[in-house]
Structure 1
Amino acid sequence: MRVDFYQLSRDPAELVVPLIARASKGAGEKLLVVAADAAQLAAIDRSLWETLPEAFLAHGYADAPHAERQPLLLSHDCEAANGAKFIALADGQWREEAQNFERVFLIFGDDRLADARQCWVMLGKLDGVERRFWKQDGGKWREGP
Protein backbone atom coordinates (compact mmCIF):
# COMPACT_ATOMS: atom_id res chain seq x y z
CA MET A 1 0.00 0.00 0.00
CA ARG A 2 1.16 3.50 -0.78
CA VAL A 3 -0.07 6.51 1.19
CA ASP A 4 0.43 10.00 -0.21
CA PHE A 5 0.08 12.80 2.35
CA TYR A 6 -1.03 16.04 0.69
CA GLN A 7 -0.64 19.07 2.98
CA LEU A 8 -2.76 21.96 1.73
CA SER A 9 -1.44 25.47 2.05
CA ARG A 10 -2.97 27.40 -0.81
CA ASP A 11 -5.79 25.44 -2.43
CA PRO A 12 -8.67 23.68 -0.66
CA ALA A 13 -9.27 19.96 -1.10
CA GLU A 14 -12.01 20.76 -3.64
CA LEU A 15 -9.33 21.98 -6.07
CA VAL A 16 -6.86 19.19 -5.35
CA VAL A 17 -9.23 16.23 -5.73
CA PRO A 18 -9.83 16.85 -9.47
CA LEU A 19 -6.07 16.72 -10.08
CA ILE A 20 -5.75 13.45 -8.17
CA ALA A 21 -8.82 12.09 -9.98
CA ARG A 22 -7.36 12.98 -13.37
CA ALA A 23 -4.05 11.28 -12.48
CA SER A 24 -5.90 8.19 -11.20
CA LYS A 25 -7.90 7.99 -14.41
CA GLY A 26 -4.69 8.37 -16.40
CA ALA A 27 -3.27 5.40 -14.49
CA GLY A 28 -6.35 3.38 -15.46
CA GLU A 29 -7.69 3.27 -11.89
CA LYS A 30 -11.02 4.08 -10.29
CA LEU A 31 -11.10 6.44 -7.32
CA LEU A 32 -13.26 6.67 -4.22
CA VAL A 33 -13.39 10.14 -2.63
CA VAL A 34 -14.42 10.17 1.03
CA ALA A 35 -15.49 13.06 3.25
CA ALA A 36 -17.76 13.03 6.29
CA ASP A 37 -19.24 16.45 5.52
CA ALA A 38 -21.96 16.54 2.85
CA ALA A 39 -21.12 20.17 2.03
CA GLN A 40 -17.51 19.25 1.27
CA LEU A 41 -18.62 16.41 -1.01
CA ALA A 42 -20.96 18.82 -2.80
CA ALA A 43 -18.10 21.30 -3.25
CA ILE A 44 -15.91 18.52 -4.67
CA ASP A 45 -18.76 17.50 -6.99
CA ARG A 46 -19.01 21.09 -8.31
CA SER A 47 -15.24 21.33 -8.65
CA LEU A 48 -15.10 18.15 -10.71
CA TRP A 49 -17.42 19.86 -13.20
CA GLU A 50 -15.70 23.25 -13.15
CA THR A 51 -11.99 22.84 -12.41
CA LEU A 52 -11.00 20.93 -15.54
CA PRO A 53 -13.92 21.49 -17.95
CA GLU A 54 -11.80 20.39 -20.93
CA ALA A 55 -11.14 17.05 -19.21
CA PHE A 56 -14.50 16.22 -17.62
CA LEU A 57 -14.30 13.45 -15.05
CA ALA A 58 -17.40 11.25 -14.95
CA HIS A 59 -18.47 10.76 -11.34
CA GLY A 60 -21.38 10.12 -9.03
CA TYR A 61 -22.42 9.58 -5.44
CA ALA A 62 -22.15 6.21 -3.71
CA ASP A 63 -25.83 6.31 -2.71
CA ALA A 64 -27.05 7.06 -6.24
CA PRO A 65 -28.22 4.50 -8.80
CA HIS A 66 -25.48 2.82 -10.86
CA ALA A 67 -22.71 3.75 -8.41
CA GLU A 68 -20.85 0.61 -9.46
CA ARG A 69 -20.40 2.06 -12.97
CA GLN A 70 -18.74 5.28 -11.89
CA PRO A 71 -14.99 5.65 -12.38
CA LEU A 72 -15.01 8.26 -9.62
CA LEU A 73 -17.29 7.88 -6.64
CA LEU A 74 -18.09 10.39 -3.87
CA SER A 75 -18.97 8.88 -0.51
CA HIS A 76 -19.21 9.36 3.25
CA ASP A 77 -17.56 5.99 3.92
CA CYS A 78 -14.86 3.69 2.55
CA GLU A 79 -17.14 1.25 0.70
CA ALA A 80 -16.03 1.24 -2.93
CA ALA A 81 -19.17 0.20 -4.81
CA ASN A 82 -17.25 0.98 -8.00
CA GLY A 83 -14.40 -1.41 -7.13
CA ALA A 84 -11.87 1.42 -6.72
CA LYS A 85 -8.35 0.53 -5.64
CA PHE A 86 -7.49 4.19 -4.96
CA ILE A 87 -9.07 6.28 -2.21
CA ALA A 88 -8.82 10.00 -1.45
CA LEU A 89 -9.60 11.00 2.13
CA ALA A 90 -10.58 14.55 1.25
CA ASP A 91 -11.43 15.65 4.78
CA GLY A 92 -8.01 14.75 6.18
CA GLN A 93 -9.44 12.14 8.52
CA TRP A 94 -7.67 8.77 8.50
CA ARG A 95 -9.92 5.73 8.41
CA GLU A 96 -8.64 2.23 9.12
CA GLU A 97 -10.63 0.90 6.15
CA ALA A 98 -8.31 2.87 3.87
CA GLN A 99 -5.72 0.16 4.45
CA ASN A 100 -7.81 -2.07 2.15
CA PHE A 101 -6.86 0.09 -0.85
CA GLU A 102 -3.69 -0.05 -2.95
CA ARG A 103 -3.18 3.70 -2.84
CA VAL A 104 -4.43 6.30 -0.39
CA PHE A 105 -4.38 10.08 -0.75
CA LEU A 106 -4.71 11.79 2.65
CA ILE A 107 -5.54 15.44 1.95
CA PHE A 108 -5.29 17.72 4.97
CA GLY A 109 -4.91 21.33 6.02
CA ASP A 110 -3.29 22.96 9.02
CA ASP A 111 -6.30 22.04 11.16
CA ARG A 112 -5.42 18.33 10.72
CA LEU A 113 -1.63 18.61 10.80
CA ALA A 114 -1.22 16.92 14.21
CA ASP A 115 -3.52 14.06 13.13
CA ALA A 116 -1.54 13.63 9.90
CA ARG A 117 1.73 13.45 11.83
CA GLN A 118 0.30 10.76 14.11
CA CYS A 119 -0.93 8.85 11.07
CA TRP A 120 2.52 9.12 9.43
CA VAL A 121 4.14 7.60 12.51
CA MET A 122 1.50 4.87 12.84
CA LEU A 123 1.81 3.86 9.18
CA GLY A 124 5.60 3.85 9.45
CA LYS A 125 5.33 0.98 11.92
CA LEU A 126 3.43 -1.22 9.46
CA ASP A 127 5.09 -3.57 7.00
CA GLY A 128 4.50 -2.99 3.32
CA VAL A 129 3.45 0.66 3.58
CA GLU A 130 5.17 3.22 1.38
CA ARG A 131 4.66 6.82 2.53
CA ARG A 132 5.18 10.01 0.57
CA PHE A 133 4.65 13.59 1.67
CA TRP A 134 3.63 16.43 -0.66
CA LYS A 135 3.27 20.13 0.12
CA GLN A 136 2.09 23.01 -1.99
CA ASP A 137 4.82 25.44 -2.97
CA GLY A 138 3.08 28.28 -4.71
CA GLY A 139 1.12 26.68 -7.52
CA LYS A 140 3.13 23.46 -7.58
CA TRP A 141 3.40 20.36 -5.42
CA ARG A 142 6.80 19.35 -4.14
CA GLU A 143 7.77 16.18 -2.40
CA GLY A 144 8.98 16.70 1.14
CA PRO A 145 11.00 14.72 3.61
Structure 2
Amino acid sequence: MASRVGFYLAPGQPVERVLPLIARAALRQGQRLLVVAGDAELLDRIGGALWDNAPAEFLANGRADGAHAAHQPVLLSQACAAENGAQVVALADGEWRDAAEAFDRALLFFDEDGRAAARDVWRRFDGRDDIEREFHELEAGKWVRKR
Protein backbone atom coordinates (compact mmCIF):
# COMPACT_ATOMS: atom_id res chain seq x y z
CA MET A 1 0.00 0.00 0.00
CA ALA A 2 1.17 3.51 -0.74
CA SER A 3 2.19 5.30 2.41
CA ARG A 4 1.97 8.73 0.78
CA VAL A 5 -0.32 10.01 -1.93
CA GLY A 6 0.52 13.42 -3.30
CA PHE A 7 -1.94 15.55 -5.23
CA TYR A 8 -0.21 18.01 -7.58
CA LEU A 9 -2.29 20.86 -9.03
CA ALA A 10 -0.61 22.71 -11.89
CA PRO A 11 -3.06 25.38 -13.04
CA GLY A 12 -2.39 26.59 -16.55
CA GLN A 13 0.71 24.43 -17.05
CA PRO A 14 0.99 21.24 -19.08
CA VAL A 15 2.23 18.26 -17.06
CA GLU A 16 5.30 17.82 -19.26
CA ARG A 17 6.44 21.23 -18.11
CA VAL A 18 6.03 20.63 -14.37
CA LEU A 19 6.70 16.92 -13.86
CA PRO A 20 10.48 17.31 -14.41
CA LEU A 21 10.66 19.26 -11.12
CA ILE A 22 9.45 16.17 -9.24
CA ALA A 23 11.53 13.76 -11.32
CA ARG A 24 14.69 15.73 -10.57
CA ALA A 25 13.94 15.71 -6.83
CA ALA A 26 13.28 11.96 -6.84
CA LEU A 27 16.53 11.19 -8.64
CA ARG A 28 18.51 13.43 -6.28
CA GLN A 29 17.14 11.31 -3.42
CA GLY A 30 18.31 8.15 -5.15
CA GLN A 31 14.80 7.06 -6.12
CA ARG A 32 13.62 5.65 -9.42
CA LEU A 33 10.40 6.95 -10.90
CA LEU A 34 7.63 5.40 -12.97
CA VAL A 35 5.62 7.91 -15.02
CA VAL A 36 2.24 6.60 -16.17
CA ALA A 37 -0.14 8.02 -18.77
CA GLY A 38 -2.64 6.30 -21.00
CA ASP A 39 -1.78 8.55 -23.95
CA ALA A 40 1.43 7.60 -25.79
CA GLU A 41 1.77 11.13 -27.19
CA LEU A 42 1.71 12.57 -23.67
CA LEU A 43 4.47 10.13 -22.68
CA ASP A 44 6.49 11.29 -25.72
CA ARG A 45 6.11 14.94 -24.65
CA ILE A 46 7.12 14.10 -21.07
CA GLY A 47 10.13 12.12 -22.29
CA GLY A 48 11.27 15.02 -24.44
CA ALA A 49 10.81 17.48 -21.58
CA LEU A 50 12.84 15.29 -19.23
CA TRP A 51 15.73 15.38 -21.71
CA ASP A 52 15.40 19.04 -22.68
CA ASN A 53 14.06 20.82 -19.56
CA ALA A 54 17.50 21.66 -18.13
CA PRO A 55 20.13 20.47 -20.62
CA ALA A 56 22.92 20.69 -18.03
CA GLU A 57 21.08 18.21 -15.80
CA PHE A 58 19.03 16.19 -18.28
CA LEU A 59 16.88 13.45 -16.78
CA ALA A 60 17.63 10.14 -18.45
CA ASN A 61 14.48 8.23 -19.24
CA GLY A 62 13.08 5.55 -21.47
CA ARG A 63 9.89 3.77 -22.42
CA ALA A 64 8.64 0.59 -20.77
CA ASP A 65 8.51 -1.06 -24.19
CA GLY A 66 12.17 -0.18 -24.82
CA ALA A 67 15.16 -2.49 -24.74
CA HIS A 68 16.56 -1.27 -21.41
CA ALA A 69 13.41 -0.57 -19.40
CA ALA A 70 14.71 -2.22 -16.22
CA HIS A 71 17.72 0.13 -16.15
CA GLN A 72 15.91 3.45 -16.63
CA PRO A 73 15.96 5.87 -13.68
CA VAL A 74 12.72 7.35 -15.06
CA LEU A 75 10.48 4.87 -16.85
CA LEU A 76 7.58 6.05 -19.03
CA SER A 77 4.72 3.61 -19.34
CA GLN A 78 1.06 3.23 -20.20
CA ALA A 79 0.80 0.56 -17.46
CA CYS A 80 1.21 1.03 -13.73
CA ALA A 81 3.98 -1.59 -13.45
CA ALA A 82 7.53 -0.59 -12.54
CA GLU A 83 9.90 -2.71 -14.58
CA ASN A 84 12.67 -0.41 -13.31
CA GLY A 85 11.96 -1.19 -9.64
CA ALA A 86 10.57 2.29 -8.92
CA GLN A 87 8.77 2.82 -5.64
CA VAL A 88 7.48 6.23 -6.72
CA VAL A 89 4.79 6.49 -9.39
CA ALA A 90 3.66 9.70 -11.10
CA LEU A 91 0.20 9.49 -12.64
CA ALA A 92 0.76 12.15 -15.27
CA ASP A 93 -2.64 12.07 -16.96
CA GLY A 94 -4.70 12.84 -13.85
CA GLU A 95 -6.26 9.39 -13.78
CA TRP A 96 -6.02 7.38 -10.56
CA ARG A 97 -5.08 3.71 -10.91
CA ASP A 98 -5.61 1.32 -8.01
CA ALA A 99 -2.22 -0.28 -8.77
CA ALA A 100 -0.61 2.98 -7.56
CA GLU A 101 -1.33 1.91 -3.99
CA ALA A 102 1.42 -0.74 -4.31
CA PHE A 103 4.06 2.03 -4.46
CA ASP A 104 5.65 3.78 -1.47
CA ARG A 105 4.60 7.09 -2.95
CA ALA A 106 1.99 7.91 -5.58
CA LEU A 107 1.76 11.34 -7.23
CA LEU A 108 -1.41 12.41 -9.03
CA PHE A 109 -0.91 15.36 -11.40
CA PHE A 110 -3.96 17.34 -12.48
CA ASP A 111 -5.07 20.74 -13.72
CA GLU A 112 -8.20 22.79 -13.01
CA ASP A 113 -10.26 20.57 -15.31
CA GLY A 114 -9.27 17.54 -13.25
CA ARG A 115 -9.89 19.10 -9.83
CA ALA A 116 -13.26 17.37 -9.22
CA ALA A 117 -11.86 13.95 -10.10
CA ALA A 118 -8.85 14.56 -7.84
CA ARG A 119 -11.20 15.47 -4.99
CA ASP A 120 -12.99 12.16 -5.47
CA VAL A 121 -9.66 10.34 -5.24
CA TRP A 122 -8.77 12.36 -2.10
CA ARG A 123 -12.04 11.31 -0.46
CA ARG A 124 -11.52 7.64 -1.26
CA PHE A 125 -8.70 7.71 1.32
CA ASP A 126 -10.83 9.24 4.09
CA GLY A 127 -10.42 7.24 7.29
CA ARG A 128 -7.39 5.32 6.00
CA ASP A 129 -4.64 5.40 8.61
CA ASP A 130 -2.20 3.71 6.23
CA ILE A 131 -2.25 6.65 3.77
CA GLU A 132 -0.77 10.10 4.28
CA ARG A 133 -2.25 12.61 1.83
CA GLU A 134 -0.47 15.74 0.65
CA PHE A 135 -1.68 18.56 -1.55
CA HIS A 136 0.79 20.64 -3.57
CA GLU A 137 0.15 23.54 -5.92
CA LEU A 138 2.49 25.05 -8.45
CA GLU A 139 3.27 28.67 -7.55
CA ALA A 140 5.86 30.79 -9.36
CA GLY A 141 7.48 27.67 -10.85
CA LYS A 142 7.82 25.79 -7.54
CA TRP A 143 5.72 23.13 -5.86
CA VAL A 144 4.28 24.46 -2.59
CA ARG A 145 2.72 22.10 -0.03
CA LYS A 146 -0.68 23.35 1.12
CA ARG A 147 -2.56 22.54 4.30
* TM-score, normalised via structure 1 length: 0.95
Q: Structure 1 residue 12: deviation in Å?
A: 1.2
For residue 27 of structure 1, what is the amino acid of its counterpart?
Q
Q: Which runs of 5+ in 2 are unaligned?
A: none
User: How many Å separate the matches in 2 of 1:4 and 1:21?
Assistant: 14
Q: Which residue of 2 aligns with 1:60?
A: 62
1:3–1:105 Cα contact (<8 Å) kept: yes
For residue 16 of structure 2, what is the amino acid of its counterpart?
E
Q: 1:142 aligns with which of 134, 141, 144?
A: 144
48-57 or 120-129: bigger deviation: 120-129
Q: Which runs of 5+ in 1 are unaligned?
A: none
User: How many Å separate the matches in 2 of 1:141 and 1:57?
Assistant: 18
2:33–2:75 Cα contact (<8 Å) kept: yes
1:18–1:52 Cα contact (<8 Å) kept: no
For residue 26 of structure 1, what is the amino acid of its counterpart?
R
Q: 1:2 aligns with which of 1, 4, 26?
A: 4
1:10–1:136 Cα contact (<8 Å) kept: no
118-127 or 85-94: bigger deviation: 118-127
Aligned-partner SS, 1:125: coil
Aligned-partner SS, 2:20: helix
* Structure 1 runs of 4+ with >6 Å offset: none
User: How many Å separate the matches in 1 of 2:35 and 2:97?
Assistant: 12
Q: Structure 1 residue 140: deviation in Å?
A: 2.9
User: How many Å separate the matches in 2 of 1:39 and 1:100?
Assistant: 26
* TM-score, normalised via structure 2 length: 0.94
Q: CA RMSD in A?
A: 1.1
Deviations 1:5-64 (A, max 9, x none): 001113211011111111110111100000001111011011011111111111100011
83-92 or 124-133: bigger deviation: 124-133
1:10–1:138 Cα contact (<8 Å) kept: no
Q: Which residue of 2 aligns with 1:96?
A: 98
Q: Which residue of 1 aligns with 2:135?
A: 133
2:12–2:111 Cα contact (<8 Å) kept: no
Aligned-partner SS, 1:124: coil
